[in-house]
Chain A
Amino acid sequence: MTKLQKKKLTDKLVILVWIIGLIVIWEIGASIVETTKRSPQNVLPHLSQIVESVFSSKPVSNKQTAWQIVTSNATITLLRAGTGFLIGTLIGFILALAMNFFKLVEKAVFPYLMMIQMIPILGMAPIVLAITQDIDKSRIVISAILTFYPVATNMLDGLKSVEKEKYDLMHSLAASNWHIYTKLLLPTSIPYIFSGLKIAAPMAITASILVDTLQGGAGLGTMLSQSLKHAMSIYVFWQIVFFSAFIGILSYKLMSFAEKMFSPHEKAKGSR
């Protein structure tokens, strides 16, 4: 076993121990709640009960089991999150380029980009709905609005991080703007873009779940709120809590993986 392999193994063990620690804390809490509350499953159920509900074949609604509800609605939400994420990334990309190219645009627009992030989704939604006339389109648009900001800011940082000497060198070699962008600016900003994407991907998912709750229909958020309203088993809620955390982490890992694919030369350095 090489040293590197060994380190990776201990890293995994450490994470395992941490997870076990969290499970122990949760279970202690659940045991206390179990003795003090009349309906403990609504406050903090045992993890075993949640796992049991995943494998239960009992239909909780419309002939679907709790787990079937979660997975079928997750597909819908993730599809919307994915579409919103792609659109948001594209907008972020264009904004970053525009802001880097025209300094005045950056100065004028940047404060407002931050302000848009401060508008609660609830306030934004009716306007978007009035414009699109369709709740599902609105859900995608709002996911996009919430994801472009980290992509735009991080990419802008990346474009700015290019050392002036390199830039001047390209200019002195009479390189065209197009060349400067494709050969120098974009490659340099790739790690920055990915750190933006790593923030944006889990955000697109939580945003998509939040936007689901704005109106009825299908989607993880809708099921989460219906379950909270006791329209169906409360375990649907608990399953969604864990499922969304899992998917969020997965989306982060996916972006890290994509980062490695896109920047092979970084591999040697051992990216963090």
Chain B
Amino acid sequence: MKNSKSTIIAPVTLGLIGVFMWQSQMLHRILGADTFTMPLPARIFGIITENIAKILFNMQATVMVAIGGLILGSVLGYLLAILASNFPKWGVGGLSVISSFNAIPIIAIAPILNNLTKDFSSDPNTRSMLAKILVVMITCTVSMSVNAYRGFIELKPFSEDLMRSLAANRMTVFFKLKVPNSVPYIFTALRVSVPASIISAMVSEYFAEYIIGVGRQIRENIVLAQYATAWAYITAAITIGIIMYVILIIIEGICMKGRR
């Protein structure tokens, strides 16, 4: 119990020290930064409270894109892993080819998808939403497919043979052995995908036709040199990230109960 207390107290203490040093400009003196590009916390907080409605509105748009792409990408990645594990000869090669998509920068993928989704809808909000979700999907598919595939093949020694010898058919082996075995690997993938989904959602917003979202607001304000406002939105982005990550950890805790 003592252990878990310090898990919370230590980072909070460090955070408070950090905020204090930031607000008192000690941090600025150490780094050689100015209060302009690194605005003070009090001012950032002031902007957040004054514009909370607008910030929440933009957060909602970003969260929808991030979660939509995360779900689509993870489901697709899992399905690909199932296919790959059922046809290992072809699947492994396919997975390694698909992994190469991760080597293309998002700033190159986003404009391509923007152009490709132009005909999807006559409503710019709908079609840019689709383009953004697809960008996030691409970033999330790879880590899920690679990890889930490992979950399907890295079974306990002889467990599959044992089940087979008990005359279990492929379906039973799949649902009773492989799927449960892949659960921890799903969470490994999600722990990478959740932060990645938010970052790629924000970058895709830079390029989207319809002007909305935390990422777009950050860009507008940085370009216009409104750093304090930009940091209010960056705080919003980090908040989304922390909330989604904590939710993931809670779900993981529930799903993995009794496994360890």
Query: Which residues of A are at the interface with B, using a C-beta cutoff of 8 A?
Result: 10-11, 14-15, 17-19, 22, 29, 33, 36, 42-44, 104, 107-112, 114-115, 117-120, 122-123, 125-127, 129-131, 202, 205-206, 209-210, 213, 221, 224-225, 228, 237, 240-241, 244-249, 252
Contact = CB atoms under 8 A, between A and B. Distances in A.
A108 to B, nearest CB: 4
A205 B107 contact: no
A146 to B, nearest CB: 10
B108 A119 contact: no
A119 B241 CA distance: 10
A63 to B, nearest CB: 26
B14 A249 contact: no
Interface stretch (B47-55, B91-99, B168-176): B91-99
Given A18-B97, A109-B14, A129-B37, 15 more contacts: A15-B97, A112-B14, A114-B195, A117-B199, A118-B199, A119-B237, A122-B230, A123-B218, A123-B222, A209-B105, A209-B107, A240-B108, A241-B104, A244-B104, A248-B103
Interface of B is mostly: helix
A131 B218 CA distance: 20
B100 A107 contact: no
B202 A120 contact: yes
A11 B107 contact: no
A202 B103 contact: yes
A141 B3 CA distance: 35
A15 B107 contact: no
Contacts of B102: 202, 248
Interface of B: 6-7, 10-11, 13-15, 18, 31-34, 36-38, 89-90, 92-94, 96-97, 100-108, 111-112, 115-116, 119, 195, 198-199, 202-203, 215, 218-219, 222, 227, 230-231, 234, 237-238, 241-242, 245
Contacts of A127: 31, 33, 37-38
CB-based closest 9 A-B pairs = A248-B103, A14-B93, A108-B10, A107-B10, A118-B241, A108-B14, A206-B105, A126-B37, A130-B37
A107 B93 contact: no
A120 B199 contact: yes
Contact of A130 (B34, B104, B107): B34
